[in-house]
Amino acid sequence: MGAEAAHGIRGETGGAWLHRTAPETGGEGVQGGRAVTGGEESLRAGPRRPGDGSAAGQAGDAGRLTPEADPLRWAGALLDAARAVVEGAAEEQAAAGQALRSARLRHEAAASLADRRRRHAEALTLRRTLDERADERADLQAMLEDAARADRVVPLVTAVRQRAEAAAKARTLAADALARARPLLTATPAAPDTERLTPGARPSPGRHTNHTPDPVRQGDGAAVPGGDQSSPPVCAAGAAGRPGDALPGSKVPSVAELAVLERERQAEIARLSELLTEEARLSVVRRDLLRVEGELAALVEADESVTERLAVLPGLIERAERVLAEARTDAARIPAAQAVRDAAAHLIEIDDELARLAAELVELSEREAEVFAAQAELPGRIADANAALDDVRAQAAAIPAAAASLDAARVALEAAHRRESLAAELDAAVAAHQVLVDQAQTLRERWLDLRQARIDGMAAELARDLADGQPCAVCGSDHHPAPAAPAPSAPSADDEHAAETEHEAALAEREAAERALASLESRHADAVEATGGLDVAEAEEQVLRAEQEVARLEAVAAREPALADARDRVETEREQVTDRAMEIAEALAAHRAHLTHLHSERARLRTRLATTGVAGPPGRADAPPTASAPPAPGAAHNDPVAPAVAGGPAGPGAERGDPAAGTHPTGQGTVSREGTDDGVGRTGERLEDAGAGPVTGDESSGGALEVGGAVVLAEAEKELRRLRESAGREDELAREAARLHRERQAQEEESRRVGARLAACRTRHEELSGDAGRLGARLDAARGGDPTLTARLARLGDEVELLREAREATQAAAAAHDELARARQAAAEAAAEAGFVDVAEAEAAVRSPAERERKAELLRRLDDEHAAATSTLTDPELVAAAAEPAPDLAAIEAERDALEEAHTRLSSVRDRAVARVARLEELYGELAGHLERWRPAADRHRLAERLAALAGGTSSDNRWSMSLSSFVLGERLRQVVDAANERLDHMSGGRYLLRHDLRKTAGSRARSGGGLGLRVADGWTGVDRDPATLSGGESFITSLALALGLADVVTAEAGGAELGMLFVDEGFGTLDEDTLDSVLDILDGLRDGGRAVGIVSHVAELRSRISAQLKVTKTRTGSTLASVGVG
């Protein structure tokens, strides 16, 4: 602390500090009747010591010294100069004190003479005044005697007032209670269907339904009005609370009537409480009724459904049995048709397969056209979906800004409300502060007046301590011939201290108010600034607009998931369409190849069939077998019930996709070998369109033998298929007939069961409806006009409480009125015994103890003043003083005050100089101690600072500006560079090598030092290059070489533990073909050494050169992983 204190005045020289600390002594003083000047000059110059020079010389020495050069010596010189100033100030103060004592003695003598003259004049005036007030003393004596007699009546008068106040209060409470209960006095709640008070008309506690309070009944039926609550005069015995004061025409209930009304409502509460269980039971019944109604509707619907099904089942059963009989007959005819079918089956199959292929080719062509159209449409749909999604996301991105604007608007609105409330508080605080300022000023003036009055009477205050034989504190004399007498109203030291304390308390209150006012003004200003000039309405409008904007943006943002899903669906659809296009192209190629093979096989089979000599039946060879003759009787395909029984209109062959199903006569035409049927003609067209070549005349219109064989084969195939289909459905038809029989039995059983449940449900519904009606009517009658039974019970409870309060208040008012009457009678009797006409006269004679004391004190004071005035006028000293001339007290006081001021100023100068010397001595000792402790620490700090600068790379001794950490890391970087160069040389074709550089590199100019730099040695140009000058591909292979080198160093440091996996992410797109080959060779070498190398890239060439792949596809719902070539 000493060093800091010395440095705190470092900006001043010793002489300047002495000049600043030497106070101004003022102009001139008075010392022993002669003028004394030069106090300031003597303080600045200081005393001269033998052999030590002047204080100014010492100050000059201190001014030449500086604390930085020699702090301890500079502080010693400053301390010597301060001591010289103290000695000079003490001499000046002693001279001024001697002059002040002489002036005080002259002033006291003059003041004593003036006081004796004043006392003599005041005594003359006082005695004349007292002689004129003799009648006043007689009146005071008589008044005190009457007050003594009235004291015997005062306790009873006080009791009357207390009883009157109690009675008035009881009347008020009774009137309030009756006012609250007034609506209940004209209604009876006994029967629910009678007129009653509704919940909305029930009076609230503490409020009257009439402007005039109701009178209160006494215990005997008398009315007590509830008018003015102030206490009536004691002497007017019948002026308040008398019976008969109620308003004309008002009917006030008695206590008994109130009790009857209360009991009636309590009885109704007990009766209604028993119905609460019925109310709960009604809720259960209604809930059960709703459930039964739902069951009844479901049963009616089920009954109708069963009835409709039973009406249909007999016809279905009859048709099913007829079709079953026909199927059994067809089963016996199958062996005969089998022989013909076997002969031509293969040719028919080929023809059917050709027709099927032609149809599929057409269908595939149509699907291909549809896919091409979808592929042309999808890019536009994807662009529209992306545009809509981008627009929604752009608007959603504005939500934080809109939310911030909303928060700011809410803050401004809150500040506007706070500004309005703080404005009112600020006005109140300003008014309160002004009141406290005025109060503090008033108390200060009172304190100063008391202080001045005490100073004026200081002689009398000193005279109280005089004793015979003891020296006077002013003049030193042992004789005190005329001590000063205190004035009658002279304040004491305690009075002055009390006034000063009140003034300080008022100042404290004013300062607290000022702090509170400043705080309010600051808060109000903050609120005004936070509103931004907006009022409450404008701020609310701003908040509303901000909320609407946020709601709009949030509504727009809510559409983002739906739009994103739509976009994903469209993209998924594009992928599916692409897949379908590839599938269709593959299917078309396969169908065309298969079609060519079938045409060759068909030609071979026709030639073989023609050599067998098979001829068709006489007549037209191209006539379809079903064109002139109807199908066999009982054919399943002509039965109208067959589709319903068999499950489809085309029969089992069509369902199974049988190629021969096309020859079944289903109304769609038959197959003809001549191509005259629509189906054959279309087949020929499809075959030609499919690329199988045009249908030649030999193939479409053969000889009679060929056509006849085709007709036979077609007819045999058709008949055999029909018979087999009919026979194959025998088991199915049998099961269907059995199922229909079982269904009819089950439906009949279900009809009986539903009918029984329906009858029971209807009975239950009737019972519950009756119970609900009866309970509802009973509860409606019980609750009357109230919404619920609980509400009616609550209302009745409130009415009981109001009636009870009215009854108890009425009883209390009657009792208070009786006590008041007895107290008035006792007071009248006591007044008569004391000699007064009535209580009013006794009350008029009553005086408070303070007033009686003042009157007695006034009487005693008048007597004492008369005696004192007479004694004063006979005092010889005062008579002699009155004969002497008046002294010039003002001039003597002016001389004394000037010397008082000079002495006080010089004493303050000396005290401050002494305090500064003491403080400087303390600081000097502290400075010496701190310097002893500081010097070793300073030496250590200089050494540590040099080492820190050297290790941090900022020292001039550090050539490369290299920190210690950079030095350690540089050695490890050198190892990584050596390992990286082995691979970089190969990947760069022997062109590039890395070199560790100790200097700062281009990328580290803003750092603390070098040691971690890299340079690239170009073997083609022979120039060292900065890594920043490398191209993108060169930078990539350099970074890859460094990464691999770092992995080798880490492996070596880890005791040979291999890094089994290495991932290389991106950068391959910047490499040319040769460099890419070199990089892949390096990576293959790592893999051959036992490491797994993963490449993260989108380069297409890498996908073709690397067989093992993991494809990651990201979607909105998550990412999917697919492996390619991974065993």
pLDDT confidence of 611, banded at 50, 70, 90? low
Decide: residue 53, CB within 10 A, 0-12 exposed, 13-18 middle, 19+ buried.
middle
Residue 403 Cα distances to 45, 407, 547, 549, angstroms: 75, 6, 8, 9
What pLDDT, on the 0 to 100 scale, is given for residue 981? 92
**Ramachandran class of 119: left when φ > 0, alpha when ψ lies in -120 to 50, beta otherwise:** alpha
Of 41-45, 834-838, 1078-1082, minimum mean pLDDT range: 41-45
What pLDDT, on the 0 to 100 scale, is given for residue 638? 38
What pLDDT, on the 0 to 100 scale, is given for residue 1022? 82
Return the domain boundaries, the chain.
2-133+885-941, 152-222+252-274+785-845, 311-334+345-369+590-743, 416-557, 964-1094
Residues in CB range of 312: below 8 A, 6 or more apart: none
Give the mean pLDDT of 561-578: 85
Choice between 456 and 977, residue whose per-residue pLDDT is larger: 977
pLDDT confidence of 871, banded at 50, 70, 90? confident
Q: Which residue has the tokens 């300003």?
A: 430
Choice between 478 and 970, residue whose per-residue pLDDT is larger: 970
pLDDT confidence of 142, banded at 50, 70, 90? confident
DSSP notation for 617-654? -SS-TTS-TTTSSPPPTT-GGG-TTHHHHHSSTTHHHH
Choice between 401 and 215, residue whose per-residue pLDDT is larger: 401
Give the mean pLDDT of 1007-1026: 81
DSSP notation for 769-809? HHHHHHHHHHHHHHHTTSSSHHHHHHHHHHHHHHHHHHHHH
Cα-Cα-Cα-Cα torsion 373, 376, 379, 384, nearest 10 degrees, comes to -70
Choice between 776 and 207, residue whose per-residue pLDDT is larger: 776
DSSP notation for 1024-1077? EE-GGGS-HHHHHHHHHHHHHHHHHHHHHHTTS----EEEEES-GGG--HHHHH
Choice between 278 and 83, residue whose per-residue pLDDT is larger: 83
Give the mean pLDDT of 41-55: 39
- Average of per-residue pLDDT values in the chain: 72
What pLDDT, on the 0 to 100 scale, is given for residue 177? 76
pLDDT confidence of 978, banded at 50, 70, 90? very high
Amino acid at 440: A
The whole-angstrom separation of Cα 234 and Cα 840 is 7
pLDDT tens digit sequence for 442-452: 998 988 888 88
Give the mean pLDDT of 94-123: 85
Amino acid at 331: A
732: its two tokens: 């199915």
Q: Is pLDDT at 693 greater than 60 in this prediction?
A: no
What pLDDT, on the 0 to 100 scale, is given for residue 922? 92
Backbone dihedral angles phi then psi of residue 1124, each to the nearest 5 degrees? -130, 120
pLDDT confidence of 528, banded at 50, 70, 90? confident
What pLDDT, on the 0 to 100 scale, is given for residue 994? 92
**Ramachandran class of 311: left when φ > 0, alpha when ψ lies in -120 to 50, beta otherwise:** alpha
Give the mean pLDDT of 544-554: 87
pLDDT tens digit sequence for 298-337: 888 888 888 888 888 888 888 888 888 787 777 776 776 6
- C-beta separation of 167 from 819 below 8 A: yes
Choice between 199 and 438, residue whose per-residue pLDDT is larger: 438
pLDDT > 90 in the chain, percent: 3
Of 669-678, 723-732, 822-831, minimum mean pLDDT range: 669-678
Q: CA-based Rg of the chain, rounded to a whole angstrom?
A: 64
Q: Which residue has the tokens 């890498």?
A: 1102
pLDDT confidence of 642, banded at 50, 70, 90? very low
The CATH number of 964-1094 is: 3.40.50.300
The whole-angstrom separation of Cα 344 and Cα 714 is 8
Compute the Cα dihedral for 364, 370, 374, 377 and give only its sign.
positive
Long-range contacts of 837-840 (CB under 8 A, 24+ apart): 838/235, 839/153, 839/157, 839/160, 839/234, 839/235, 840/233, 840/234, 840/235
Q: Is pLDDT at 231 greater than 60 in this prediction?
A: no
Give the mean pLDDT of 735-751: 84
Q: Is pLDDT at 530 greater than 60 in this prediction?
A: yes
Q: Which of 1014, 1032, 1033 is nearest to 1024 (CA)?
A: 1014
pLDDT tens digit sequence for 878-899: 888 778 888 888 888 888 899 8
Amino acid at 126: L
pLDDT confidence of 58, banded at 50, 70, 90? very low
Q: Is pLDDT at 368 greater than 60 in this prediction?
A: yes
The whole-angstrom separation of Cα 479 and Cα 482 is 9
pLDDT confidence of 1009, banded at 50, 70, 90? low
Give the mean pLDDT of 108-119: 84
What pLDDT, on the 0 to 100 scale, is given for residue 342? 62
pLDDT confidence of 615, banded at 50, 70, 90? very low
Backbone dihedral angles phi then psi of residue 993, each to the nearest 5 degrees? -140, 145
What pLDDT, on the 0 to 100 scale, is given for residue 574? 82
Give the mean pLDDT of 187-206: 40
**Total count of residues recorded for the chain:** 1127
What pLDDT, on the 0 to 100 scale, is given for residue 608? 54
Q: Is pLDDT at 348 greater than 80 in this prediction?
A: no
DSSP notation for 560-628? HHHHHHHHHHHHHHHHHHHHHHHHHHHHHHHHHHHHHHHHHHHHHHHHHHHTTT----SS-TTS-TTTS
Give the mean pLDDT of 174-186: 75
Q: Which of 1015, 1036, 1038, 1039 is nearest to 1026 (CA)?
A: 1015
Q: What is the pTM of this model?
A: 0.27
E strands of 642-741, at which residues? none
528: its two tokens: 């005004």
Of 437-441, 935-939, 1030-1034, minimum mean pLDDT range: 1030-1034
Residue 284 Cα distances to 279, 281, 289, 790, 985, angstroms: 9, 5, 9, 17, 94
